């Protein structure tokens, strides 16, 4: 009987492969078998018909995943627009916005030659020569492009969305980079990881219109193109990387990282004996062209060949030539001993020449020494002792462990795993990513804001870890299932499966283990996704111009005091009024209030800032003299005592004292402290209680009831009752105070008539 | 304080009086009764006069002259006259009269004249009653001119107690309505009465033409002195169903300038006393069904506004970023969308927009208004009809997806008060098909984008056609195509194998040996053809150098396939054979078992190889 034959046959097949597996071998009822078999066959048939398209399927999947990641990277950065509005955030972006506006209105040449007399009064600032124009030019080009295509957008919208747009582009670069150093699946994972990594989002949310927004894209692009150039040895790619470098130089001061990391990488390759003509072509082309291009940026100019930070690249460039020359000589000279002598002579002369050149250059001042910022990167304690203005910025503080955890989450654990995989498969490309990862991790530890630079490397390396692990586990599962289907073929299958076969024998519950591990990986990744979304929406999407708090009934309360004050200044003061404030608010005042400021966030002149610091920490009479000298019309202070807003001028005051005291020894920090303690209540130092800053912040504050059950004049930001409630101003008068007292503006009175 | 103000002003008035006294008397018209009511409760001085005129002469009179001192005339924002019909309580103000500036001869130079043209001439002995409404801006002068935050705001209003007219007036009276607050002082003449917030002058009888008796009222006025120095209203019509209105305001507090400190503490604790002269908010009455309302300024959104709406209106309360004290300025933009069918209508093949002219803000004086009506691209034959004289221009605006730009009608007017909130019409012709132009453009744009992509993919863009790498690439492409072909052929072979297997299954079901043999023959032929096809492909691969590294794999694939073919044939013959011999199932199984095992293994190998080749 035919059915019998069938069942017997199937039985036999199962018997053959059933030896390997005991679980799937629970004999099904014989009656059901033919049907089972048929469906199995059908499956196989349909699989066959799909088989032709596997490649296209894979391509389709890859492209759609990339597209989704691209979109995701963009939309996750729009929280701030939804929560608040389409606006520019924080401090520096306001300067960038103002310059972009200038660029789009007046054109490139006006922009390039712009002398801004509205800041650093009375010195002014040569804006065209002291900024990195990449960001503004990019935004302006996008703006002009859209205008050309007849989309009547406002330049503000373009500026707000520039950073998310470039973040999306970064995911593409991350994909290609990952593909270059590992494989395309690692690239996909890298793209997905970097799309939502908080370390990157912190600087690229909509509205955060800052250099870093495009610079990370440029940085990663340059690295990718360089690695590609090293891998292919093609002039085209190295040329492309030179242009990538040019874009980076035009966008951000962080290009110094590239110009030091790449030589370091080349040096490591040379030392580890991985020198090749590919490397020679890639580095020389990239360095020479990149240097020439970078020198076109006015802010960089001849620094690129003269300053200490760029010397390493030049040194490696010459070293490359010597290396090549020696290689050539070695090829010509067949005698080994002769070559060794030659080698000794050449190396000695080269090193001698280099040392002499460096010495003479440094001594004559032709080669400028390292800047303070560079020093503070190499030695984290340097800034604290020598440059208070760098140390005073919160984003220049050393990074706490918690913020690593906050910004990287699971990547922090995946990073070492990825390094392990990289070391397991050392190639020129993986060496590069390892070096990038390790150096940037060090810098991230030195300064909070450099976490940003480390983020792409961490994402890429973690992506390698995730992708390699998942791939191994998935292959394990797939071979297993194949084995159950394909029967005895396992033994015959070639070397490819042999390692798995080995594992197979050693671990009986391997399949379950793999499933469990896979589930674990997906659990971790989904945790990462939720963490990133949470961080983005809660921590990194606040514009910091508008403050939001929860009211007593859980409703959202908005403190829009900054804009209130800036708009008041813009509308109700003479157009040529000079406003004195601490430098943090300089950019915002020039951009939003359109008034001249004494100092701003471009902290190029320490003495000028110190003068303002001195005025703020002097008695009113002395401060009045300084203000008269600076032609100050209005003084603006930020005060959080009413709302409990803690980053106000009273909390920043010690830095003013320090920076002021650094230039003017009249100001001494101990005068403002009591037993080394900084206080504003009754026990405060007398100088503190009567200095200008204290008076301006607390003027008439003593009469105000801020909190129920507390005496009048209770400072909610510091939780104390203030020490000087009877403040009289002699040379200044209150001109405006915002509704929540966050910004207070005082008018400087003209001098009294002498008669 | 009191009446010792502006010496200049007094001199002006004196000159005026001298000028007036030397003026001649005009026509035979007599004003038998003049009642004037001046409303000073807001910053706009509104003078409503009821004038009864009688023709006392012989010839009929067709126009009546109104005279206003030039000092006031420059602040005149609005002037209308209406004929009153009926008597007593049934009085209704009817036809509006045309009022035009006039320049009659022999009149004193310090007066401005306007003529009201009567619909039908006034015959001898006939009388007519007129309602004249005039609104003046900036005529309440703050005095003192500078006050501190704690001070109240006092203003002075000056006018004449006697109606200034080129005609003799029989009976007249004047009533001034002041805001409900302190009155500092006022000029006391005969027959002057102060009743709470009202001051009454008159009645005065039988006064000659150009009688003049200056009065000044000094009183407290703390209402909002909101003056829009400039207002730009942009009304953009989209025939997709929306009328978008955008209004840019540039507002100043037009009252007494503030001096000294602004103390937030004082203002917070006692806003009514220590900030009496300031205003905190403005109210705008928008049309009903206004939607997507926004309120922002140059530096961003302003979160302090409230919208209330019902079926008759939408009311929006706007709080500027800070309270406005005297002389303080602010600027902002409000915008809202309105349903198209409420404002754009069609008649006689023409479309027209029917929209109100002035600002929707309550009690706002606008020094200069610019109204821009942006019509959809492709609108033609524009014409405007306004209830009063405005300056008119046309321009072009480039907006989203415009090629030629949208035609814009620009209307300009100075000194606008809420009385100007009357409807005006803009007529134009617009073809509804033009609406589809923009979507069509978008579609074409995207279409061309894809076409470019397709072209880019298919066009060979390499510069040097003879370079080694280019040639290598071409060769490699050939190799890939060949490998693809080989794979296809192998796949065909495999599917042929399936057919063979199927025939075996049929055999076991039906026992039809002949059919099975026929199937065998057919597949044999097919397979032979396929292997013939494979031969040139393999030989091509062997000859091409870039294929060197995959050649062994491909060869292996082909060899395995051939082996598989042989085994299958063997299996097939065995089974058919055993069927013919009528052997039992078990026995057949045993005979085939080893071959079957081999076949499965070979299949697996072929699959692996295909995958491997795929990955290359």
Q: Looking at the complex, does the CB of residue A29 fall below 8 Å from at least one CB of chain B? A: no
Predicted local distance difference test score (pLDDT) of residue B193: 86
Return all residues near B373 (Cβ < 8 A) that are at least 6 apart: B235, B237, B353, B355, B408, B409, B411, B426
Predicted local distance difference test score (pLDDT) of residue B83: 86
- Say if residues A221 and A173 touch (Cβ distance below 8 Å): yes
Distance CA A640, CA A642 (A): 6
Q: What are phi and psi of B211, to 5 degrees?
A: -70, 140
Q: What is the DSSP track for B339-351?
A: EGGGTEEEETTEE
Segment B70-97, tens digit of pLDDT: 888 889 999 998 888 766 555 666 778 8
For the CA atoms of B100, B104, B108, B113, what is the dihedral angle to 10 degrees?
Answer: -10
- Say if residues B255 and B283 touch (Cβ distance below 8 Å): no
Distance CA B133, CA B97 (A): 12
- Say if residues A588 and A569 touch (Cβ distance below 8 Å): no
Q: Indicate the residue of A152, A734, A741 with minimum beta-carbon distance to B398.
A: A152
Residue B42 has pLDDT above 80, yes or no: yes
Q: Chain A residue with minimal CA distance to B487?
A: A52
Place of tokens 């026990």: A683
CB contact under 8 A, A51 and B330: no
Place of tokens 């009479």: A621
Q: Which residues in A lie closer than 8 A to residue B571 (C-beta atoms)?
A: none
Residue A701 has pLDDT above 80, yes or no: yes
Among A139-148, A211-220, A479-488, A592-601, which stretch is predicted with the lowest mean pLDDT? A479-488
Segment A438-487, tens digit of pLDDT: 999 999 998 888 999 999 999 999 999 999 999 988 888 877 555 544 44
Residue A221 has pLDDT above 70, yes or no: yes
Chain A (134-173) residues lying within 8 Å, Cβ to Cβ, of chain B: 149-152
Q: Which residues in A lie closer than 8 A to residue B321 (C-beta atoms)?
A: 560, 563-564, 567-568
Chain A (269-288) residues lying within 8 Å, Cβ to Cβ, of chain B: none
Predicted local distance difference test score (pLDDT) of residue A32: 40
**Closest Cα in chain A, distance from residue B323 (Å):** 10
Taking Cα atoms as reference points, which of B47, B40, B54, B39 lies closest to residue B68? B47
The residue ranking higher by pLDDT, A317 or B593, is: A317
Residue A24 has pLDDT above 60, yes or no: no
Could you tell me the pLDDT band of residue B181, with boundaries at 50, 70 and 90? confident
Residue A38 has pLDDT above 60, yes or no: no
CB contact under 8 A, A12 and B260: no
**Closest Cα in chain B, distance from residue A396 (Å):** 29
Mean pLDDT of chain A: 85
Residue A418 has pLDDT above 80, yes or no: yes
Q: What is the DSSP track for B18-85?
A: HHHHTPPPPSSEEEEEEEEEEE-SSSSEEEEEEEEEEE-SSS-EEEEEEEEEHHHHTTEEEEEEEEEE
Distance CA B411, CA A248 (A): 50
Chain A (713-742) residues lying within 8 Å, Cβ to Cβ, of chain B: 733-739, 741
Give the A:B interface size as CB pairs under 8 Å.
Answer: 121
Q: Chain A interface, mutation test: which of B249, B253, B261, most A Cβ atoms within 10 Å?
A: B261
CB contact under 8 A, A567 and B321: yes
Segment B225-259, tens digit of pLDDT: 999 999 999 999 999 999 999 999 999 998 899 88
Q: Chain B interface, mutation test: which of A89, A737, A742, A746, most B Cβ atoms within 10 Å?
A: A737
Could you tell me the pLDDT band of residue A14, with boundaries at 50, 70 and 90? very low
Task: State mean pLDDT over B510-514.
Answer: 76
Task: State mean pLDDT over B334-355.
Answer: 92
CB contact under 8 A, B589 and A568: no
Kindly report the pTM of this predicted structure. 0.85
Predicted local distance difference test score (pLDDT) of residue B135: 93
Predicted local distance difference test score (pLDDT) of residue B86: 66
Residue B467 has pLDDT above 90, yes or no: no
Task: State mean pLDDT over B260-266.
Answer: 89
Predicted local distance difference test score (pLDDT) of residue B9: 54
Residue B398 DSSP SS3? coil
CB contact under 8 A, B604 and A560: no
Do the strands A578-580 and A634-638 form a parallel or antiparallel pair, or are they unpaired? parallel
Mean pLDDT of chain B: 85
Predicted local distance difference test score (pLDDT) of residue B91: 61
Predicted local distance difference test score (pLDDT) of residue A201: 93
Segment A365-415, tens digit of pLDDT: 888 777 777 777 777 777 777 777 777 887 888 888 999 999 998 999 999
- Say if residues A265 and A434 touch (Cβ distance below 8 Å): no
The number of angstroms, rounded, from the C-alpha of B271 to the middle of its chain's C-alpha atoms is 36
Predicted local distance difference test score (pLDDT) of residue A464: 95
Per DSSP, B411 falls in state E
Residue A424 has pLDDT above 80, yes or no: yes
Give helix A255-271 / helix A428-446 axis angle, nearest 10°.
130
Q: Chain B residue with minimal CA distance to A151?
A: B400
Predicted local distance difference test score (pLDDT) of residue A507: 56
CB contact under 8 A, A8 and B509: no
Per DSSP, B137 falls in state S
CB contact under 8 A, A560 and B321: yes
Chain A (663-702) residues lying within 8 Å, Cβ to Cβ, of chain B: 700
The residue ranking higher by pLDDT, A506 or A319, is: A319
Predicted local distance difference test score (pLDDT) of residue A664: 92
Predicted local distance difference test score (pLDDT) of residue B21: 52
Which tokens belong to B29?
A: 């018209």
Task: Give the H or E element holding residue B192.
Answer: strand B192-195
Residue B2 has pLDDT above 50, yes or no: no
Other CB atoms within 10 A of residue A166 CB: 23
Residue A499 has pLDDT above 70, yes or no: no
**Closest Cα in chain A, distance from residue B263 (Å):** 7
ipTM of the complex: 0.82
Among A3-12, A237-246, B132-141, which stretch is predicted with the lowest mean pLDDT? A3-12
Q: Chain B residue with minimal CA distance to A559?
A: B303
Q: Chain A interface, mutation test: which of B600, B602, B610, most A Cβ atoms within 10 Å?
A: B600
**Which residues, in sequence order, are bridge partners of residue B61?**
B122
Among A47-61, A173-187, A676-690, which stretch is predicted with the lowest mean pLDDT? A47-61
Cα-based angle A403, A409, A412 (whole degrees, multiple of 5)? 90
């Amino acid at each position: 009987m035919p059915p019998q034959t069938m069942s017997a046959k199937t039985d036999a097949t199962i018997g053959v492969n059933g030896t390997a597996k005991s679980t799937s071998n629970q004999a099904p009822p014989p009656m059901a078998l033919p049907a089972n078999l048929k469906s199995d066959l059908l499956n196989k048939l349909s699989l066959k018909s799909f088989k032709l398209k596997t490649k296209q399927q894979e391509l389709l999947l890859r492209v759609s995943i990339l597209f989704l990641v691209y979109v995701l990277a963009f939309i996750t950065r729009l929280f701030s627009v939804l929560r608040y509005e389409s606006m520019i955030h924080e401090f520096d972006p306001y300067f960038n916005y103002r310059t972009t506006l200038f660029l789009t209105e007046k054109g490139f040449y006006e922009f390039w030659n712009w002398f801004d007399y509205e800041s650093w009064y009375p010195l002014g600032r040569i804006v065209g020569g002291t900024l990195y124009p990449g960001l503004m030019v990019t935004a302006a080009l996008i703006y002009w492009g859209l205008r050309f295509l007849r989309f009547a957008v406002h330049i503000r919208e373009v500026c707000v969305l520039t950073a998310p747009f470039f973040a999306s582009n970064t995911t593409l670069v991350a994909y290609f980079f990952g593909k270059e150093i590992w494989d395309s699946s690692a690239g996909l994972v890298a793209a997905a990881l970097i799309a939502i990594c908080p370390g990157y989002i912190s600087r690229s949310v909509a509205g955060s219109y800052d250099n870093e927004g495009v610079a990370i894209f440029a940085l990663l692009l340059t690295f990718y193109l360089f690695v590609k150039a090293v891998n292919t040895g093609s002039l085209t790619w190295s040329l492309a990387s030179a242009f990538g470098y040019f874009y980076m130089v035009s966008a951000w001061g962080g290009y110094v990282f590239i110009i030091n990391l790449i030589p370091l990488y080349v040096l490591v390759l040379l030392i580890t004996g991985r020198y090749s003509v590919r490397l020679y072509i890639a580095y020389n082309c990239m360095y020479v062209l990149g240097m020439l291009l970078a020198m076109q940026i006015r802010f960089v100019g001849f620094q690129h060949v003269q300053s200490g930070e760029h010397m390493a690249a030049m040194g490696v460039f010459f070293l490359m030539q010597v290396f090549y020359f020696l290689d050539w000589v070695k090829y010509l000279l067949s005698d080994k001993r002769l070559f060794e002598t030659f080698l000794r002579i050449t190396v000695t002369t080269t090193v001698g020449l280099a040392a002499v050149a460096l010495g003479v250059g440094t001594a004559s001042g032709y080669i400028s020494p390292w800047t303070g910022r560079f020093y503070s990167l190499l030695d984290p304690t340097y800034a604290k002792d020598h440059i208070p203005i760098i140390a005073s910025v919160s984003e220049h503080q050393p990074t706490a462990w918690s913020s690593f955890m906050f910004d990287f989450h699971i990547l922090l654990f995946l990073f070492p795993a990825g390094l392990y995989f990289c070391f397991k498969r050392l190639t020129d490309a993986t060496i590069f990513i390892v070096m990038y990862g390790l150096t940037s991790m060090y810098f991230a530890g030195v300064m909070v804001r450099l976490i940003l630079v480390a983020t792409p490397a961490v994402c890429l390396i973690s992506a390698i870890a995730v992708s390699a692990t998942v791939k191994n586990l998935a292959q394990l599962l797939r071979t297993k299932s194949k084995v159950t289907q394909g029967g005895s073929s396992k033994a015959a299958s070639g070397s490819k499966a042999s390692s798995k076969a080995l594992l197979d024998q050693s671990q009986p519950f391997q399949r379950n283990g793999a499933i469990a591990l896979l589930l674990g990986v997906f659990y971790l990744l989904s945790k990462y996704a939720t963490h990133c979304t949470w961080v983005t929406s809660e921590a990194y999407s606040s514009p910091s111009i508008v403050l939001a708090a929860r009211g007593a009934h859980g409703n959202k309360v908005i403190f829009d005091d900054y804009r209130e004050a800036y708009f008041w200044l813009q509308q109700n003061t003479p157009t040529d009024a000079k406003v004195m404030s601490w430098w943090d608010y300089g950019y915002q005042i020039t951009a939003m209030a359109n008034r001249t400021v004494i100092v701003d966030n471009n902290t190029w002149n320490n003495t000028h800032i110190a003068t303002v610091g001195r005025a703020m920490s002097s008695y009113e009479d002395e401060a009045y003299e300084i203000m008269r000298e600076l032609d100050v019309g209005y003084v603006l202070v930020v005060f959080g005592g009413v709302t409990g807003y803690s980053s106000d001028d009273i909390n920043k005051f010690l830095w003013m004292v320090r920076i002021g005291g650094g230039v003017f020894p009249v100001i001494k920090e101990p005068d403002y402290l009591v037993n080394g303690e900084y206080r504003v209540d009754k026990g405060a130092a007398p100088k503190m209680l009567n200095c200008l800053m204290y008076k301006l912040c607390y003027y008439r504050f003593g009469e105000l009831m801020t909190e129920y059950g507390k005496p009048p004049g209770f400072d909610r930001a510091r939780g104390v009752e203030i020490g000087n409630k009877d403040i009289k101003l002699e040379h200044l008068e209150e001109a405006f105070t915002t509704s929540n007292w966050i910004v207070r503006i005082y008018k400087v009175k003209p001098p009294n008539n002498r008669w | 304080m009191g009446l010792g103000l502006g010496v200049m002003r007094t001199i002006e008035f004196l000159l005026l009086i001298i000028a007036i006294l030397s003026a001649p008397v005009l026509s035979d018209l007599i004003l038998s009764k003049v009642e004037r009511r001046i409303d000073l409760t807001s910053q706009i001085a509104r003078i409503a006069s009821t004038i009864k005129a009688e023709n006392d002469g012989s010839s009929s009179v067709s126009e009546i002259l109104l005279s206003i001192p030039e000092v006031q005339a420059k602040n005149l924002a609005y002037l209308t006259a209406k004929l009153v019909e009926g008597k007593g309580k049934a009085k209704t103000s009817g036809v509006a009269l045309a009022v035009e500036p006039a320049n009659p001869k022999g009149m004193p130079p310090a007066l401005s004249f306007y003529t009201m043209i009567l619909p039908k001439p006034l015959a001898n002995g006939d009388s007519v009653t007129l309602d004249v409404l005039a609104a003046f801006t900036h005529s309440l002068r703050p005095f003192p001119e500078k006050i501190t935050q704690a001070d109240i705001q006092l203003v002075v209003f000056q006018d004449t107690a006697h109606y200034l007219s080129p005609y003799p007036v029989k009976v007249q009276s004047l009533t001034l309505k002041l805001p409900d607050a302190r009155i500092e002082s006022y000029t006391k003449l005969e027959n002057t009465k102060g009743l709470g917030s009202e001051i009454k002058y008159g009645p005065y009888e039988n006064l000659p033409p150009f009688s003049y008796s200056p009065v000044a009222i000094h009183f407290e006025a703390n209402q909002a002195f909101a003056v829009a120095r400039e207002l730009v209203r942009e009304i953009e019509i989209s025939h997709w169903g929306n009328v978008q209105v955008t209004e840019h305001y540039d507002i100043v507090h037009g009252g007494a300038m503030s001096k000294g400190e602004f103390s937030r503490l004082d203002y917070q604790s006692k806003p009514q006393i220590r900030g009496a002269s300031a205003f905190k908010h403005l109210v705008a009455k928008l049309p009903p069904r206004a939607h997507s309302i926004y309120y922002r300024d140059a530096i961003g959104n302003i979160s302090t506004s409230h919208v209330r709406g019902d079926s008759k209106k939408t009311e929006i309360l706007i709080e500027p970023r800070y309270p406005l004290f005297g002389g303080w300025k602010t600027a902002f933009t409000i915008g809202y969308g309105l349903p198209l069918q409420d404002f754009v209508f069609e008649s006689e093949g023409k479309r027209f927009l029917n929209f109100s002219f002035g600002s929707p803000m309550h009690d706002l004086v606008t020094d200069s208004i610019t109204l821009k009506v942006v019509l959809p691209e492709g609108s033609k034959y524009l014409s405007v009809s306004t209830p009063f004289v405005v300056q008119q221009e046309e321009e072009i605006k480039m907006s989203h997806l415009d090629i030629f730009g949208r035609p814009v009608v620009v209307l300009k007017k100075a000194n606008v008060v809420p009385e100007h909130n009357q409807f005006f019409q803009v007529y134009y012709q617009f073809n509804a098909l033009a609406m589809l132009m923009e979507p069509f453009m978008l579609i074409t744009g995207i279409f061309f984008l894809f076409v470019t992509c397709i072209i880019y993919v298919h066009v060979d863009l390499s510069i040097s056609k003879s370079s080694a790498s280019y040639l290598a690439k071409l060769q490699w492409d050939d190799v890939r195509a060949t490998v693809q072909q080989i794979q296809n052929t192998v796949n065909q072979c495999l599917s042929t194998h399936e057919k063979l297997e199927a025939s075996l299954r049929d055999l076991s079901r039906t026992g039809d040996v002949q059919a099975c043999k026929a199937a065998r023959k057919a597949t044999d032929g097919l397979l032979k053809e396929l292997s013939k096809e494979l031969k040139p492909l393999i030989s091509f691969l062997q000859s091409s150098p870039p294929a060197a590294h995959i050649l062994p794999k491909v060869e292996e694939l082909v060899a395995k396939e051939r082996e598989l073919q042989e085994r299958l044939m063997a299996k097939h013959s065995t089974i058919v054979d055993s069927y013919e011999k009528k052997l039992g199932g078990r026995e057949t199984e045993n005979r085939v078992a080893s071959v079957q095992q081999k076949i499965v293994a070979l299949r697996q190998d072929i699959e692996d190889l295909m995958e491997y080749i795929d990955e290359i």
